[in-house]
A = this chain, B = another copy of it.
């Protein structure tokens, strides 16, 4: 097991990134994964489809890093030259990889697309390299061991790069470091990043293995616990007590300890497990909350309908808010939010109703301050209303409102369940 962290450099090849045509999400994905594996990344470089500059970038990266990850430029066209140049820099010839050629032919057959000769180019690999199967496209990935370094070539499309990294590159890195580095993410809501850090400062200060790092997301904090050991099992054993301690400190504010569970998925799962149906009644978010829930596969089990009551008339006619309530308290008030969450006879019956009303901006005045949002949640007749003051532009305010509505729904259901469990009266 190496004590010194291996240094990784990411080189993304593609003129479309240099033209600003696409945002470099591959670099962000790879960087996060590399950090999660306990490796260091000092540089990300982007270079266009130009032979000399690609060669310069690869040479520079090999000189200053232990591992170079290249993405993009593995396709069948003349512009795709990453592999050819990487092989040249490493002094390796290209040879035909029969298995990859067969995979490519099969891929085209399955898709019913005509196979063209220039696809042979994609099956050429440097001698003595490791070929990584591409289950989502044609270009195989390649790892070229070079002196005591490693050049990893991955396809550019994220839907090919990500699974290939998980399936083939992570195990390779595990072998390389002669140790397994595993991490678990504890996902926290209702606590800001600085408070979260303060709450675990003693754990962070004393960290060696596992290490602990916090990541701020909109309305969430992710705490990543990373351990290294000579087996997956031992690494997990090291992580376990730390996650247990985090659970003690953050309690119900942890919505998941699973990398793949989003906040909206945790809410959908909680609703499904509690056999509760939810309905959304949105003003300033305008459907954003319903849309986030619907993006969870299986949401149809728990979300039957939603209302976008953007105008006062819609709030009255669809959500049943009283005219006098809006007149007396305005449309952005705790009272209006509460009535929006009371439920309506119009649609299918719901057990949980969540409502959002607020000023999203961009204009702000004393009477209508941008960022003021009320969110109400009704769980089987118990209504909770909360007032928020969000910062940022119109989109940011609406995103914050959406996240906090998910958090409130989660809290209210958990409280409801705990009251049920302990046999308290709920009315």
Interface membership of A273, Cβ < 8 A:
no
Interface membership of A23, Cβ < 8 A:
yes
Residue of B nearest to A20 (CB): B32
- Report whether A287 and B294 are in contact in the complex, using a CB–CB cutoff of 8 Å: yes
Interface membership of A289, Cβ < 8 A:
yes
Copies in the complex: 2
Distance in Å: Cβ of A106 to nearest Cβ of chain B: 20
- Report whether B297 and A363 are in contact in the complex, using a CB–CB cutoff of 8 Å: yes
Per the bound structure, the CA–CA distance linking A226 and B346 in Å amounts to 54
Per the bound structure, the CA–CA distance linking A346 and B315 in Å amounts to 11
Interface membership of A385, Cβ < 8 A:
no
- A interface: dominant SS: mixed
Contacts of A299 in B (CB 8 A): 286, 310
Contacts of A318 in B (CB 8 A): 305, 346-347
Interface membership of A59, Cβ < 8 A:
no
Per the bound structure, the CA–CA distance linking A313 and B308 in Å amounts to 18
- Report whether B305 and A308 are in contact in the complex, using a CB–CB cutoff of 8 Å: yes
How many residues on A have C-beta within 8 angstroms of the other chain's C-beta atoms? 74
Interface membership of A270, Cβ < 8 A:
no
Per the bound structure, the CA–CA distance linking A48 and B44 in Å amounts to 10
Neighbour of A394 across the interface among B53, B57, B280, B297, CB < 8 A: B297
Distance in Å: Cβ of A188 to nearest Cβ of chain B: 15
Interface membership of A243, Cβ < 8 A:
no
- Report whether B284 and A287 are in contact in the complex, using a CB–CB cutoff of 8 Å: no
- Report whether A41 and B25 are in contact in the complex, using a CB–CB cutoff of 8 Å: no
- Report whether B297 and A305 are in contact in the complex, using a CB–CB cutoff of 8 Å: no
Contacts of A314 in B (CB 8 A): 304-305, 347-348
A-B contact pairs, 5 of them (CB 8 A): A17-B44, A19-B31, A285-B294, A288-B291, A294-B310
A residues near B (Cβ < 8 Å) are 17-25, 27-35, 41-48, 50, 53, 57, 60, 159, 213, 215-216, 280, 282, 284-291, 293-295, 297, 299-300, 303-311, 313-314, 317-318, 346-348, 360-363, 393-395, 398
Given contacts A20-B33, A42-B47, A294-B398, 13 further A-B contacts (CB under 8 A): A18-B44, A19-B32, A24-B44, A27-B46, A43-B45, A43-B57, A280-B287, A285-B294, A286-B294, A287-B306, A295-B394, A297-B362, A305-B313
